[in-house]
Amino acid sequence: MTASPFDAAIAVEKPYRRKRTASFEIAAEPGAVFAMMCPVREYEWEPGWITNLILSASGLVEQGCIFTTPASASIASNDDSAEAIWVTPFHDPQTRRLTMIKVTPKECVTRLDIAVDETNGGATVTASYEHTALSQKGRIIVDEHTEQSYSALMNGWRDALSARLAA
């Protein structure tokens, strides 16, 4: 096999990643729950939520929406994490499904998939976070993405959304 001139310049590695998925029920109308899955509307229910910039034609989350979060929003143990860039490649209010990709340069790429389904008592929210490391610092993020930490995150979402939507 002949070596390519690119062989020396391109590193190919097995991904270091972890995916967690959880579901919770909430006594609220599914469309109202789905509407909260937005970088603008998140200010209404997520304590401490902050974005630096939101690029959106509608002013809310939509397919193609881009937003940034400050370094302080990182879950990494290190305080010197970079600002993150979020892109929404998929957003479908009719099926109540969305995907967001978060890139924290030189650290981690995160895929967030959210589905909100109708149930007898309201809605079931299913959220998956998949973190892929880009560096040693990214490996810390992946390693901190444990069942326990993810369960705490999802319980926080459930409690905050329930409190907001019950108001």
pLDDT in tens, 47-72: 889 999 999 999 999 999 999 999 86
Angstrom distance (rounded) from CA 39 to CA 47: 13
Q: Is the pLDDT of residue 81 over 70?
A: no
Structural domains of the chain, ranges and CATH numbers in brackets: 19-166 (3.30.530.20)
- Global pTM reads 0.89
Split at pLDDT 50, 70, 90, the class of 4 is low
- Find the mean pLDDT for residues 87-101: 98
Angstrom distance (rounded) from CA 124 to CA 161: 12
Which of these, 29, 162, 51, lies nearest to 100 by C-alpha position? Answer: 51
pLDDT of residue 76: 43
